[in-house]
Amino acid sequence: MLGAAIALSLLAAAASLVQPLLVSQLITDVQSNTPFGSLVATLVTVVVLFGVLSGFQHFLLQRTGTSVVLSARRQLVRRMLRLPISEFDVRRTGDLVSRVGSDTTLLYAVITQGLVDAVGGSLVFVGALVAMAIIDPVLLGLTLAVVATAITTVVVLSGRIRIASRKQQEKVGDLAAAVERSLSAVRTVRASNATDREIATIEQDAEGAWRMGIQVARISALVVPVANIALQVALLVVLGVGGFRVASGAITIASLVSFILFLFLMIMPLGQAFGAINSVNQALGALGRIQEIVALPSETEGDAAIASVGAIKTDAAISFENVEFSYPDTAHKTEQEKLVAQVIGEDAVAHESSVLRGISFEAARGQRTALVGPSGAGKSTILALIERFYDPTGGVVRLGGVDIRALDRTELRAQIGYVEQDAPVLAGSIRQNLLLSAPNATDEQCVEVLEAVNLLEVLHRNPEGLDAAVGEDGVMLSGGERQRLAIARTLLAAPPILLLDESTSSLD
């Protein structure tokens, strides 16, 4: 598709280069009283052909640009959903969403206003340059002096546009993160009478994005006038000097008209290129943010050679052997710990941020094992290590006697059902939530598991049954119903091992 667009661009460029030559010949024929009917017909045909080719090129460009955005979004989403959990600890959801949405959209400009225009414009520019050199090298030299000054100015400005655009996209990411934070906890915000404060915070981020947008606009505003001034100065120089050369007999009037037409053909792609520089540099700033995520390692990169989980052969389904763990970043530190880290240095508080130290225990197969301890003792962290959301910084976690770091993560998690502490419910229907862990389950199986967790009442009060909407984050369900649905979702997959992270705290 892109190749076809480039080919059409080249054909359109060739058609545009023929027009000044035909006009020059037409003027000569008129002056010499030579019949010119066929020449006019040829000129009209070339003009129409140029219009048709430009139309097809425009369509292919739009389609190709849209396809590029789709491809970038696919690549970005695939990478995001495979990032290590630790990346989500330190990155804001709204900023990641902004990269998938607004940043990828800016790539559209690279195709529609950048690559193809550059190819076609280059042919027109070079072709016009050669023709002008043949017609009158003196006028060409004067023209190039003006154009070179314009190009130098734009090159200097383009780097500043790229830097400012990158900062603007970062500010847009901050804004998206602030909006996502407030909307995801809108009930808490209202109950805390914090609506005005949250609005002020979001508006502050919006103003930050606006200020960076103004900065980009200021720099960009210098680019287009440069092209316009270059065209006007070059035209005035050509008319003045060219008129003198026609009067002196150095060139003919037909040659001057042809030179002026080629001048327009040369300046127009330059003007388009100067305008496209704004969009392309903004797209390059967004591309940098996209590449930042794409370049991150996936969760499974660096894993050892994988062995199949197979059957659990020992009574000890799960065992911890002198396990130690510390979160790699400050995401899980308290505000007091962060303040201490700033005052006395990060290394000095490294031991204090350790969550688990020398943990050893066995959870036998077929038994219930309870982890008891105060808040912050590391109970949820132990479950996260079993799921391999993180790897221990010391010691070994085993499943069936095998170090889980030697097991395939997908097969490992197929052995384990995990209900998180806050029992998240996804927006959508009851059915969609249940099928998340068991996509091939039947309606009968869904109803059975809902009955097992005492959640049939939700089906009875909704005529849509399994297709009843649960709302964003399950807001149309009570706290207990959300937990029951999360448990039902896990039970439907029938895992051999079930991890419950205080998932019944809201149940009666």
10-residue stretch averages of pLDDT, the chain, 508 residues long: 60 66 70 71 76 74 80 87 86 83 78 62 76 86 82 75 80 82 71 79 88 83 73 81 86 84 76 65 77 86 60 68 82 43 42 77 87 86 91 92 86 86 82 88 91 88 87 82 89 89 70
Residue 130: which of 259, 303, 307 has the closest Cα?
A: 259
> Are the C-beta atoms of 431 and 425 separated by less than 8 Å?
no
Measured in Å, how far apart are the chain's first and last C-alpha atoms?
Answer: 60
> Are the C-beta atoms of 88 and 94 separated by less than 8 Å?
no
pLDDT at site 360: 93
* Distance (Å, whole) CA 19 – CA 36: 15
**Is residue 87 left, alpha or beta, with left meaning phi > 0 and alpha meaning psi from -120 to 50?**
alpha
> Are the C-beta atoms of 426 and 391 separated by less than 8 Å?
no
3-state secondary structure of 440: coil
Residue 410: which of 324, 264, 291, 299 has the closest Cα?
A: 299
Q: pLDDT for 310-361, tens place per residue?
A: 555 555 589 999 999 998 754 444 444 443 444 434 444 444 467 899 999 9
* Distance (Å, whole) CA 277 – CA 257: 30
In this structure, are strands 416-419 and 497-500 parallel, antiparallel, or unpaired?
A: parallel
**In angstroms, what CA-CA distances link 55 with 3, 109, 128, 217, 501?**
16, 18, 22, 30, 60
Q: 4 CB contacts (<8 Å, ≥6 apart)?
A: 60
* Distance (Å, whole) CA 397 – CA 361: 10
3-state secondary structure of 356: strand
Q: What is the pTM of this model?
A: 0.65
Q: 120 CB contacts (<8 Å, ≥6 apart)?
A: 6, 9, 10, 12, 13, 57, 269
Q: pLDDT for 15-60, tens place per residue?
A: 666 766 667 677 776 777 777 677 678 777 877 877 777 777 777 7
Q: 327 CB contacts (<8 Å, ≥6 apart)?
A: 86, 89, 333, 353, 355, 390
* Distance (Å, whole) CA 378 – CA 371: 9
**Chain centre to alpha carbon of residue 490:** 32
